[in-house]
Amino acid sequence: MNATTDKAIRADRAAVPRLEFVEVRKAFGDLVVLDGVTIRVDPGEVVCVIGPSGSGKSTLLKCANALEPIQGGRIVFDGQPLPADAEGIRRVRRRMGMVFQSFELFPHMTALANVEAGPRTVLGMDAASARARAEALLDKVGLADKAAQYPSALSGGQQQRVAIARALAMEPEVMLFDEPTSALDPETIGEVLGVMKRLAEEGMTMVVVTHEMTFARRVADRVVVLDRGRVLEEGPPRQIFEEAREPRTREFLSHLEWTG
């Protein structure tokens, strides 16, 4: 990256965050899941969210995509608060890609059909253009030879890569990953993390909820630690993994098995 480009990116980041959570509060009945969470995600930044199970990580992403309403604070996307009306929410979701733990592919559709469905039905692309985009994205995630396969014939890692291609087909401005490798066996985790690493290198804005600490350390620009619905601490990966300020962070990391 040259100095001019780097300067432009820094200026853009200083101006308007791509996604921002400001004192966000979310509760299910009496159970408070997010308790005043504030996180800023700048354009082109990769933010990994880590923390114990039940700390609110997945709920945070669902709130970002308006899959769950919030009870307090605000979520801001490209300088504008998330809309409350259905049409406004649909417009925002077109600009956010979300990859879930459980793939969520259409079982009756081939890999190619899964990827081209969004551009055709939501963006109104013609069939030829949607197919060309889908074929290019399957090639991008290393699955060009699986285009005609149905999800049941694919491994978990392959299904998740199709899910990533499907999200990318909408040309999102930010990608949200909710523990994308949690349902995978060890042999296929690397396939998915490799695709995500390449997206990061290409400058995709990403918020990744993950238990893959090596990925967070090597790929994230910033790591946010959530615990009991609150931001415990945040900072560059080296700070979090080697010089964590909070005893609770050090305790959490000490119980994990990871390399690097």
Amino acid identity for residue 61 in this structure: L
Q: Distance of CA 212 to CAs 34, 140, 203, 251, Å?
A: 22, 22, 20, 17
Phi, psi dihedrals of residue 189, rounded to the nearest 5°: -60, -45
What pLDDT score was predicted for residue 258?
Answer: 52
**Cβ-based neighbour number of residue 37 at 10 Å:** 25
Q: Which pLDDT band holds residue 256 (cuts at 50, 70, 90)?
A: confident
Q: What average pLDDT does range 11-35 have in this prediction?
A: 88
Q: Where are the beta strands (DSSP E) in the chain?
A: 19-28, 31-41, 46-50, 72-77, 80-81, 96-99, 174-178, 205-209, 222-227, 230-235
Q: What average pLDDT does range 110-124 have in this prediction?
A: 95
Looking up tokens 């400001």 gives 22
- The first and second tokens of residue 5, run together, are 């480009």
Question: Is pLDDT above 70 for 7?
Answer: no
Q: Report DSSP state, residue 16.
A: -
Asked whether the whole model's pTM tops 0.85, one would answer yes
Phi, psi dihedrals of residue 21, rounded to the nearest 5°: -105, 125
pLDDT digits (tens, 9 = 90+) for 27-77: 999 999 999 999 999 999 999 999 999 999 999 999 999 999 999 999 999
DSSP 128-185: HHHHHHHHHHHHHTT-GGGTT--GGGS-HHHHHHHHHHHHHTT--SEEEEESTTTTS-
Residues above pLDDT 70, as percent of the chain = 93
**Cβ-based neighbour number of residue 208 at 10 Å:** 27
Q: Which pLDDT band holds residue 259 (cuts at 50, 70, 90)?
A: very low
